[in-house]
Amino acid sequence: MKKIGWAGVVLLSALLLSTTGCANGVNSSSEPAVAPVAGKMTVTFIDVGQGDATLIQAPGGKVLLIDGGPKDGEAAVLSTLKTKGIKHLSVLATHEDADHITALDNVVNTYAVDEVYLPKMPTKATVTMERFANAVKAKGLKFTPAKAGVSVDLGVGVTAVLLAPVKDTYDQDNNYSAVLKVSYGDTSFLFTGDAEGESEQDMLASGVNLKSSVLKIGHHGSRSSTTTPFLKAVSPMYAVIEVGQNNYGHPTSTILNRLKSYGIKTYRTDQQGTVTAVSDGQHVILSTEK
């Protein structure tokens, strides 16, 4: 998709919306998430309710779990790893909020873990964070500081680089969120945690290539994220919002309308359950649980 400009993506997305059965299109099925296929990268946006948990299975077998959901989603995270037969993985905690890290102590306790990435931020010293930190320590591991420029090893053929946090200090905790771009062939994914406008601005100013096929929408569709300049730079074909029942008004109509106005096909875990994206390096096909 990298040769298609912004206008092209809008046009193509509009075509896809009005077309079924397109080879490059969108499939919906009630089938459970499929096992990884050789030569394909599978990204599973796990339905954890109000929070984030995303599993990346690279074509060569490397696995990265980005975030571990809220308390209500812990069982979903653990059963996804079990069902998929994961034995070994790395973990990226985008930031310390409980809706992103609750299952991670359990994951670290249960599985062989290579690296655990976490941004350096003023610690919230919550019980949840303490449990996570203790699990990492008990395993003889240390947190690898997550910041712009750090690479994550997802094996041959896949590039995974952190694009944020760009700065060392922010006023809003959400802006410490680690943002990861994963590229496989012509396809790419941008995972933004809860990064807000200020961090988006810093990524734009840093000059990195933000263009991605799939954007995990920042902060559950809050108005504080997915600013127009950022969205234009990413110009995704697909957006995924990880969100559940909440009192914050997530996802906001502002963001839903913004995505719609750019013709971006949007998936929501609160309405469609777990969303699975499979890339063969040329195309991404998304399917949903519901």
Residues that bind Zn ion (CB under 5 A): 99, 194
DSSP of 48-113, one letter per residue? -SSS--EEEE-TTS-EEEE----GGGHHHHHHHHHHTT--EEEEE--SS-HHHHTTHHHHHHHSEE
CB of 15 to Zn ion, least distance (A): 33
Q: Which is nearer to Zn ion, 84 or 219 (CB)?
A: 219
Cβ 75 to Zn ion, closest distance in Å?
Answer: 19
Q: Which is nearer to Zn ion, 1 or 255 (by Cβ)? A: 255
Q: How far is the CB of 177 from Zn ion (least distance, A)?
A: 9
Q: Which residues contact residue 178 at a Cβ distance below 8 angstroms, ignoring those fewer than 6 apart?
A: 92, 93, 94, 95, 117, 118, 119, 146, 147, 162, 164, 165, 193
Q: Which is nearer to Zn ion, 158 or 178 (CB)?
A: 178
Closer residue to Zn ion in complex, CB, 42/224: 224
Q: How far is the CB of 73 from Zn ion (least distance, A)?
A: 11
CB of 10 to Zn ion, least distance (A): 29
Structure tokens at 265: 């096909």
CA distances, 43 to each of 53, 173, 240 (Å): 11, 26, 11
Cα–Cα distance for residue pair 120/103, rounded to 1 Å: 20
Query: Token pair 């919230």 is at which residue?
Result: 124
Rank residues 242 and 289 by Cβ distance to Zn ion and give the closer one: 242
Q: Give 134's contacts (C-beta < 8 A, 6+ positions apart).
A: 105
Q: Name the CA radius of gyration of the chain, rounded.
A: 17
The residue behind tokens 């013709």 is 263
Instruction: Between 84 and 100, name the residue whose CB sits nearer to Zn ion.
Output: 100
CB of 97 to Zn ion, least distance (A): 5
Alpha carbon of 186 to those of 3, 46, 175: distances in Å?
A: 9, 24, 28
For residue 257, the minimal CB distance to Zn ion (Å) is 21
User: Residue 59 or 221: which CB sits closer to Zn ion?
Assistant: 221
